[in-house]
């Protein structure tokens, strides 16, 4: 692909604008200055520097974000800032989307991509992708509550009880809950139905991929090939 089209595909602007950046000597490719907009390169793995900003080119973008509290997973938030404001402009312009949503007061692992097939594979109920949540509760956790969450609790708008794929107490007022569904406010509603109340909620893993502990709240990074492999069904 020509360099001007590569920059355009990465979200740096129109093809003409990207061509102007290149011709002005503001683009390096793998550490070397390139002033030819028509120069051809393979996209994936190409290391760019655009007007001083380093960028890893990719045909499809796959990211993990450590979502902080107080952000909505919406392009048009109502009451809190959008989680997309935590991303650099090129990723926002290429319209990456959250893979599922977290409530504004829920923190932790959020995947984002511009690959529609990937989003479907991770969010379709038929795929049954496990998601692990660390739950802080208002009251001490009892064995009866853990057992209820394991065997199933009845929610008002559900025809049958919903059960966690796994549940364990991790402290006096904390649980680790694994779900295969992704229903509205499911963790909060299930814990309430079991006789407790969620004070804080953090998603720590999706499938076989855990949140990178080096990411501070609000930080993101590209998913590696190993990360993507961990998200594929066994």
Q: What 3-state class would DSSP assign to 45?
A: coil
Give a yes or no: residue 211 inside a domain.
no
Q: CATH number for the domain including 39?
A: 3.10.290.10
Under the banding of pLDDT at 50, 70 and 90, the label for residue 234 is low
CB atoms within 10 A of CB 188: 16
Q: Among 57, 75, 99, give the residue marking a domain's end.
A: 57
pLDDT for residue 70: 94
The pLDDT tens digits for 132-178 are 999 999 999 999 999 999 999 999 888 889 999 999 999 999 999 99
Among all chains, which residue has been given the structure tokens 């920059």? 7
Q: CATH number for the domain including 108?
A: 3.30.70.580
Q: Among 39, 57, 75, give the residue marking a domain's end.
A: 57
CB distance 45 to 51 below 8 Å: no
Give a yes or no: residue 80 inside a domain.
yes
DSSP structure class, residue 40 = B
Among all chains, which residue has been given the structure tokens 């893993």? 205
Enumerate the β-bridge partners of residue 177.
133, 167
Same domain, 184 and 221: no
- Alpha carbon distance 72, 91 (integer Å): 17
| pLDDT at residue 77 tops 90 | no
Same domain, 26 and 136: no
pLDDT for residue 183: 81
Same domain, 225 and 113: yes
Give a yes or no: residue 212 inside a domain.
no
What is the average pLDDT value for the chain, to the nearest integer? 92
pLDDT for residue 207: 92
Same domain, 49 and 162: no
**Judging by DSSP bridges, how do beta strands 106-113 and 32-33 pair with one another?**
unpaired
Among residues 4, 36, 51, 103, which one is catalytic?
Answer: 103
pLDDT for residue 60: 92
Structure-block tokens of residue 97: 């989307």
Q: Among 19, 41, 57, give the residue marking a domain's end.
A: 57
Same domain, 227 and 112: yes
- For the chain, percent of residues with pLDDT exceeding 70: 99
pTM of the shown model: 0.89
Closest CA to 115 of 58, 60, 75, 59: 60
The pLDDT tens digits for 124-139 are 888 889 999 999 999 9
| pLDDT at residue 233 tops 80 | no
Q: What is the mean pLDDT of residues 113-123?
A: 91
Q: Give me the DSSP letters along 118-142.
A: HHHHHH-GGG---EEEEEEESS---
Same domain, 78 and 96: yes
156 is catalytic: no
Structure-block tokens of residue 85: 């404001």
- Counted domains in the chain: 3
Q: CATH number for the domain including 155?
A: 3.30.70.1560
Name the E strands within 47-179.
47-50, 53-56, 62-67, 97-98, 106-113, 131-137, 166-171, 174-179
Same domain, 83 and 96: yes
Q: Domain range holding 95?
A: 63-125+217-231
The pLDDT tens digits for 41-59 are 999 889 999 988 888 898 9
């Amino acid at each position: 692909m020509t360099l001007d089209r590569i920059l355009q595909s990465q979200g740096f602007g129109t093809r003409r604008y990207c061509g102007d950046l290149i011709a002005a000597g503001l683009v390096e490719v793998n550490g070397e200055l390139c002033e030819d907009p028509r120069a051809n390169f393979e996209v994936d793995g190409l290391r760019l520097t655009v007007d001083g900003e380093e960028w890893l080119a990719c045909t499809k973008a796959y990211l993990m974000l450590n979502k902080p509290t107080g952000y909505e997973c919406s392009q048009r938030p109502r009451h809190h800032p959008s989680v997309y404001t935590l991303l650099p402009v090129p990723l926002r312009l290429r319209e990456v989307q959250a893979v599922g949503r977290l409530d504004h007061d829920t923190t932790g692992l959020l995947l984002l991509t511009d690959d529609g097939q990937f989003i479907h594979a991770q969010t379709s109920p038929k795929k049954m992708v496990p998601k692990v949540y660390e739950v802080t509760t208002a009251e001490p956790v009892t064995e009866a509550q853990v057992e209820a969450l394991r065997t199933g609790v009845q929610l008002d708008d559900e025809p049958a009880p919903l059960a966690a794929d796994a549940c364990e107490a991790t402290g006096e007022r904390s649980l680790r809950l694994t779900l295969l569904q992704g229903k509205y406010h499911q963790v909060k509603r299930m814990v309430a139905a079991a006789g407790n109340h969620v004070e804080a909620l953090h998603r720590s893993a999706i499938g076989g991929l855990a949140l990178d502990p080096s990411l501070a709240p609000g930080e993101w990074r590209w998913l590696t090939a190993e990360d993507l492999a961990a998200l594929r069904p066994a």
